[in-house]
Amino acid sequence: MTTQTSDLTGRRAGAAPPRRVELVHVFHPSAARALDRFPDLLGDRRVRVLPDERALAEALPEIEVLFAINPPRVPWETASRLRLVQLGSVGVDHLLPAPGLPESVEIANSGGATSGPMAEYVVGQLLFLVKRFAAAEENQRRRRWTTHAPGLLAGRRVTVLGYGPVGRRVCTLLAPFSVELSVVVRRPRPLDGVSRVYGADDLLDVLRETDDLVLTLPLTAATRGIVGAAELGALPRHGHVVNVSRGGLVDERALVAALQAGELAGAALDTVDEEPLGHDDPLWDCPGLFLGGHSSWTTPHRDEEIVRILTNNLNRLESGRPLLNLVDREHGYPVAPPPLPAGADRGGAQ
């Protein structure tokens, strides 16, 4: 797969010339609900909701802009008029790879609309685990008044795996807690406010000096299973794992084994590899494990924020300007989003 390139105007090479978008096709009930709640944001553009995978496949030849969450595998080679796939979520793994999707089609995600709440969720889960709130809850349930010996987050060694919008926000929110922060990224480089930056090849060594591991990576071929038995074994017995990205990043059977054996103190998974989680899956009853039901990204304002991102990108598409959160197909996530003034263009999304 070739990397996307841009001309001097910032438009991707081969992209369609600017023209008005009159009709937006929508796939997924959540995306349709968002547009239904905030119809005025789209102006006079029309909306057509595609109720199922078959309707999407049949409509592909006429679709110019697709607003979707978790689009299925469809015959993308028939999408001869498609200019933009705007995702109402951050993850791109449901779409890519997309065999047959014309190179001229731009893909954008909704990064920024969910990074704030997801980062708050991470901090909340770290406090939940370190302070041992589950033990206090159990004492209350048993009507037992006793001290449960909470830990201290300050001074703990926290490693954030991934430094996209969520990872950056996690680091910002953790700074006041006086943790020893490390970041592991694909390409090590200086990062504002982070003194310890490592490459993926250093992961095992970093984990040996880590108390709490936070995963904020996209799921790609390169990151699937990045935290397996060896990585979990490198963490100390008092260590924790918090994953708000994709379940496929973690070897769940290895995690269950580590928690059952007391080799880890606890974990919080907001997402799992196969959702919804099967009724008989061992994750349900695993000691020290909190399951979040894939809720870390939701907020009362999410629908408005993703519609604002869609609208901004429609305006940019029509005027030939570079898109927000343009996804690099080779990497599976936005590599270099255009810089924006504070509070501009994203409708307040962080």
Half-sphere exposure of 180 (CA within 13 A, CB side): 9
Q: How far is CA 55 from the centre of its chain?
A: 27
- For position 229, what pLDDT does the model report? 98
Measured in Å, how far apart are the chain's first and last C-alpha atoms?
31
Contact 164, 111 (CB under 8 A): yes
Q: Is residue 339 part of a domain?
A: no
Contact 242, 216 (CB under 8 A): no
- For position 18, what pLDDT does the model report? 72
- For residues 248 and 345, which has the higher predicted lDDT (pLDDT)? 248
pLDDT digit string, tens, across residues 171-200: 999 999 999 999 999 989 999 889 999 999
The beta-strand segments (E) located in 41-151 are 46-50, 65-68, 84-87, 106-108
Residues 145 and 248 in one domain: yes
Going by C-alpha positions, the residue among 316, 344, 348 that lies closest to residue 12 is: 316
Residues 49 and 83 in one domain: yes
Grade residue 7 by pLDDT with cuts at 50, 70 and 90.
very low
Range in 111-120, 124-133, 261-270 the model is least confident about: 111-120
Sign of the CA dihedral running 192, 197, 200, 204: negative
Grade residue 112 by pLDDT with cuts at 50, 70 and 90.
confident
User: Using CB atoms within 10 A of its CB, is residue 57 exposed (0-12), middle (13-18) or buried (19+)?
Assistant: middle
Q: Is residue 213 part of a domain?
A: yes
pLDDT digit string, tens, across residues 224-272: 999 999 999 999 999 999 999 999 999 999 999 999 999 999 999 999 9
Grade residue 148 by pLDDT with cuts at 50, 70 and 90.
confident
Q: What residue numbers bound the domain in which 155 lies?
A: 115-291
Q: Is residue 262 part of a domain?
A: yes
Residues 128 and 277 in one domain: yes
pLDDT digit string, tens, across residues 8-61: 344 555 555 678 999 999 999 999 999 999 999 999 999 999 999 999 999 999
Active site residues: 246, 275, 294
pLDDT (mean) for 80-99? 94
Q: Is residue 5 part of a domain?
A: no
Tally of structural domains, the chain:
2
Q: CA 312 to CA 268: how far, in whole Å? A: 34
Mean pLDDT of the chain: 91
Q: Is residue 264 part of a domain?
A: yes
CATH number for the domain spanning 44: value is 3.40.50.720
Residues 170 and 195 in one domain: yes
Tell me the three-class secondary structure of 135-150, residue by residue.
HHHHHHHCCCCCCCCC
Residues 92 and 220 in one domain: no
- For position 14, what pLDDT does the model report? 55
Peptide bond into 338 cis (omega under 30): no
Residues 276 and 206 in one domain: yes
- For position 336, what pLDDT does the model report? 60
Residues 125 and 272 in one domain: yes
Residues 53 and 124 in one domain: no
Q: Is residue 10 part of a domain?
A: no
pLDDT (mean) for 298-302? 89
Q: Is it the case that residue 325 has pLDDT exceeding 80?
A: yes
Q: Is residue 84 part of a domain?
A: yes
Q: CA 31 to CA 110: how far, in whole Å? A: 12
Grade residue 348 by pLDDT with cuts at 50, 70 and 90.
very low
Phi, psi angle pair for 318, to nearest 5°:
-70, -25
Q: Is residue 347 part of a domain?
A: no
Peptide bond into 97 cis (omega under 30): yes
Q: What is the pTM of this model?
A: 0.84
Q: CA 260 to CA 39: how far, in whole Å? A: 49
- For position 350, what pLDDT does the model report? 29
In the block, tokens 């930056």 appear at 197
